[in-house]
Amino acid sequence: MAFKPKSAAETKARDLGLALARLAENEGVPASIGIDALRRASPRLTPLAIEQMVRKQRDTVEATLAERGLALTDYADQGPSRGMEFTIESAA
């Protein structure tokens, strides 16, 4: 099987998944993770990038969480300057 380089979007989606996993593991699951905590954990993930990764690369984010035994059970986006929130639980 040939090596397929990851796109920048796939890399950022993986970064988002890893940041969510680290935060959930530190808080304990189930965890509700807001945008502020996520930005502190990974400053290079801007709110716009986070929104795009959830919309366009959700499979990659969920696969990254699944590798750690976690699942994205809910995602809420209240719109600009109102915040985003992720709910992470143990994978069943």
Kindly report, residue by residue over 56-75, the tens digit of the pLDDT.
Answer: 988 999 999 999 999 999 88
Q: Please, are residues 64 and 18 in contact by the beta-carbon 8 Å criterion?
A: yes
Which token pair is 6? 């990851």
What pTM, to 2 d.p., does this model score? 0.83
Q: Decide if pLDDT at 9 tops 60.
A: yes
Q: What is the pLDDT of residue 81?
A: 56
Give the Cα-Cα-Cα angle 52, 55, 56 (nearest 5 degrees): 80
- Per-residue pLDDT reduced to its tens digit, 12-29: 889 899 999 999 999 888
